[in-house]
């Protein structure tokens, strides 16, 4: 999934998350295939971004590896690991990252989704 500017949207792209109006009304459901008419209508409603399936727009950045993303997470949390809540937050983010990479690879996430670097149970 990639969040892109509406100006980058093209016909044939598939909506990855429901598109909602500011009042919460769903304008396009997940799975909707964008057309010129839908894109024009969303632009008239002053919407600026849309989440689409895959990674159709080159953002100029090389995709990160799982190891690089986990190393960046470690760096961001290194000074806060003495705080139990921050350690729990880091573990939750690690789990999310691992699941995301497993989904992208078409694999089922490991039970618990934690793995190395997860805090012990009850931490």
**What pLDDT band is residue 114 in, cutting at 50, 70 and 90?**
very low
CA 38/CA 56 separation, integer angstroms: 18
The string of pLDDT tens digits covering residues 49-101 is 899 887 666 666 656 788 988 999 999 999 998 999 999 999 999 999 898 88
CA 55/CA 57 separation, integer angstroms: 6
Closest CA to 51 of 21, 99, 18, 23: 18
Q: How far, CA to CA in Å, does 51 sit from each of 17, 47, 81, 107, 119?
A: 6, 12, 33, 22, 32
């Amino acid at each position: 999934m990639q969040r892109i500017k509406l100006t980058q949207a093209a016909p044939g792209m598939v909506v990855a998350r429901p598109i909602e109006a500011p009042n919460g009304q769903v304008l396009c459901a997940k799975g909707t295939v964008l057309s010129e008419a839908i894109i024009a209508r969303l632009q008239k409603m002053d919407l600026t971004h849309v989440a689409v399936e895959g990674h159709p727009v080159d953002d100029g950045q090389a995709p990160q590896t799982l190891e690089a993303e986990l190393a960046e997470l470690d760096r961001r949390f290194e000074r806060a690991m003495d705080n139990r809540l921050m350690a729990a937050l880091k573990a939750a983010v690690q789990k999310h990252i691992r699941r995301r990479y497993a989904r992208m690879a078409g694999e089922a996430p490991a039970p618990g989704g934690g793995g190395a670097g997860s805090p012990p149970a009850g931490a």
